[in-house]
Amino acid sequence: MKLPASAPPHPKPLPEGERGSYARRSYRWLRVLLIAVVALALIAVLLDRIFPLQLPAPDTGSTVVLARDGTPLRAFADSDGVWRYPITAKQVSPLYLQALLTYEDQWFYRHPGVNPYALLRGVFGALRHGHVVSGGSTLTMQVARIITPIPHTVPGKLVQIFRALQLEAHLSKAQILDLYLNHAPFGGPIQGVEAASWAYLGKPASRLSHAEAALLAVLPQSPSLLRPDRHPDAARRARDKVLKRMRDKGLWSDAQLRDADMEPVVARSLRAPLDAALLAERLHQQQPQARRIVTTIDANLQRAVEDRVSDYLSRLPSRTSAAVLVVDNATLEARVYVGTAAFADPSRLGHVDMVRAQRSPGSTLKPFLYGLALDDGLITSQSLLVDAPQDFGGYKPSNFDDAFNGPVSVADALQRSLNVPAVDVLDHVGTNRFVARLANGGVDLSLPQGAQPNLSIILGGASTRLENLVGAYTAFANGGVAGAPRYLPDAPRQARRLLSPGAAWIIRDILSTNPADVEGAPLEGTISQHDTVAWKTGTSYGYRDAWAIGVTDRWTIGVWIGRPDGTPSPGQYGAVTSLPLMFAVVDMLPNGGDHVHAAQPATVRQVDICWPLGGLAAHTPPVLCRKQRKAWALDGAIPPTFAERDVTAWSSGLVIVRVDAKGRRLSATCHGKSEHTMQIARWPALATPWLSVDDAAQAALPPLAPGCAPDSLDVANPIRIVGLSQGTRLRQAPNSTQPLHVTLQALGASGDVQWLLDGRLQGSSLGDAKMQLNLPQPGDHRITALTRNGAFAQLAVYVEKS
């Protein structure tokens, strides 16, 4: 059959010999190609073994300590001085990743580490223009140069290509991208986008704007010349180039570009963050291998309090430092940790962390003592105590201002931080038991070497830490359960019972109604503004430590001020120095929160008690109830007033005597007409100098009937002051610069005699030895001589102006 003329002819078959020759040639080329591929693979494996890839170890580099929201508090550079904050691509703003990959390497996820087209474009561009116009490096090649020093030469480019291929062979694209994000240079000691974002912009890389993302995407191209803190104009031009590329690619809109273009390039001074510096150092020392340490600190609040402390300390004497700790009562997490007033300031010993330094607590332990006494049933909130010169086995405490107040309530003694009543209560509670109870609540007291717990610990005769005190004070907001402050979110909660819920509630109520005048500091305006704060101040011996600790529904705040070297700061004490700063910090704290003040416990009830006996008013005859007080009682306990220590010296409390028809006292072997018994409510002997005339008369014993032998009730023999007469008017000699002084004796006294001027202790004498007193101020003065057994004498004098 004849084919159509338009049909193509059949190909002419090759001769048999030629067909064999063609097949042999194809096979040879295929074999050569296969051998070449295998050889290249073997060479690549061999080179990979000979020149192994040196990746940064995952556990090396700088350490960053972060606030609870991720804000860096302090960066610790690595051994090369580099600041690097570890981060992954998932933690970076998508805008930054978009700008980076579009501008630097849009084929990143498609090429094997090298982009031939980009390389050829770079070569031809260099030949055409005489200099490098486009480097042709992929992001992987940039990572290769970042992690391994490679010279900018043709052989160096070949090495860079080899290293890029190695990276692609060993790592995933995500791992390569993370290496870039963490190690790209951004100028100075800054490496990685997260460190750069915080250093230049003061924000995390997760919250970048379009303009900021573009700036950080281009900055590693020439970090020295484009640093926004040094060359803002050059940085802006480079940024705008990236923005234009993003618009031209259709990735960012014209509106977004206009908004971004309006943003100025303003960078902060390049510095590592130094907030909560000493806490960061503390945690870094505890976790030296950790690269990211997340704390419980509130970054904004921390900076605000640090600024307030710095401003406040500028008005105090040189070398003074301060510490502030703020704890959330509900979680025990610390939100503010100021360990020093000026970090790294040698004049203030700014390297010393005063939050955990051992210091004398002054009077800050007194609330726990009175709370424990409440739990023991020894006192109510209004039990009668005596603030007068007392001798506790050779220990003779005095008050902060050397003044004494006579009969006071427990609440008064705690609010006014009176020393003698506190020592009296501690003597009844027991020092060893008190120290053990504090230790169980997290307050470990450190005593001088070889010393045993003694009565002085309640006045600061031991040492402890601010963080221990703050943790213990949280008990007043947490139903008596104290807890150690937590600095890490995953730190275990350490909470132990310190007081019963009732005792904690009563003590907090007392401390939240503090008077406006405490330790001599007038605070009326300040107190009225903070009537929801329960607070206590303290001052250690020699004005070395000034404390103020406050408790609100949500927060516990501790403030210490002093000199870290332990030298005195005369005139600086808790109420006048630390308390105003504590209230200032309270004003800065956010209000509210889920943790609210607990309701009055069922174990607490308000009762009316009577002085001087201490019993319920409802059960006390009116003649024996000289003063009535509303008191908080715990578990129904209504304890009597403490008995006198020297029972032979005075019969305090309820005394029952026999009297005759004329009301004269009858001793044991004495009898009279119409004799009957009489009840007398006697005040503690040492309180008698402060009693009113009426109270003293009501508490006085009836005189002995004629012929009756003396009884033990008259042991306290009367004494008399000689050297001045009642009502004497004195005048200093004209032109004299010496203070007016008088010499007195207490006739009839035996043992120690305490001399007081207007309630303030001036000194002591033995028996009827002479005592010299200075009368420096014009006006009325009251002089008191008081013996240990309660015998006393008083006289009033007047000093005229010269």
CA separation for the pair 486, 483 (Å, rounded) = 9
The sign of the torsion formed by the CA atoms of 5, 6, 8, 10 equals negative
- Whole-number Å distance between alpha carbons of 20 and 471: 95
SS3 111: coil
Match 């005063």 to its residue by tokens.
Answer: 354
* Catalytic hit among 104, 306, 467, 519: 104
Query: Looking at this protein, which amino acid is placed at residue 48?
Result: D
CB atoms within 10 A of CB 361: 28
CA distances to 459, 480, 505, 636, 744 from 375, rounded to whole Å, are: 21, 11, 12, 11, 46
* CA-based nearest residue to 65, from 270, 275, 268: 275
Task: Kindly state the tokens that stand for 771.
Answer: 């005592």
Token pair 């609040």 is found at 301
Contact by Cβ (8 Å): 288, 66: no
How many CA atoms within 13 Å lie on the side-chain side of 698?
Answer: 17
Cβ neighbour number for residue 180 with a 10 Å cutoff? 22
β-sheet with 792-800: strand ranges across: 728-731, 792-800, 779-787, 752-757, 760-766
Angle, in degrees to the nearest 10, between helices 366-375 and 419-429:
40
Cα 380 versus chain centre, distance = 32
Name the one residue in this structure whose structure tokens are 């800054």: 190
DSSP 559-615: EEEE-TT----TT--IIIIIHHHHHHHHHHSPP--S--PPPPPTTEEEEEEEETT-S
C-alpha span between 324 and 705 (Å, rounded): 67
CA distances from 622 to 616, 619, 651, 656 (A): 11, 9, 20, 16
Q: What is the DSSP string of 644-707?
A: PSSTTT---EEEEEEE-TT--EE-TT---TT-EEEEEEEPPGGGGGGS-HHHHHHHSPPPBPTT
Residue 363 known to be catalytic: yes
Cβ 89 vs Cβ 145: under 8 Å: no
Give me the count of residues in the chain. Answer: 802
The answer to whether residues 659 and 671 touch, using CB atoms and an 8 Å cutoff, is no
CA distance 105 to 98: 10
* 728-731 vs 792-800, strand pairing mode: parallel
Identified catalytic residue from 93, 197, 321, 363: 363
Cβ atoms within 10 Å of 506's Cβ, excluding its own: 29
CA–CA separation, 114 and 498 (whole Å): 68
Residue 249 near residue 102, CB atoms below 8 Å: yes
Rounded to the nearest 5 degrees, what angle is found at the Cα of 138, between the Cα atoms of 134 and 142?
Answer: 95
The burial of 223, by beta-carbon neighbours within 10 Å (0-12 exposed, 13-18 middle, 19 or more buried), is given as middle
Helix spans in 171-209 (H): 173-183, 193-196
Phi, psi for 707 (deg, rounded to 5): 90, -5
Is 16 noted as a catalytic residue in this protein? no
Q: What are the CA-CA distances from residue 439 to residues 281, 479, 497, 509 (Å)? A: 27, 18, 11, 24
Question: Catalytic residue numbers?
Answer: 104, 363
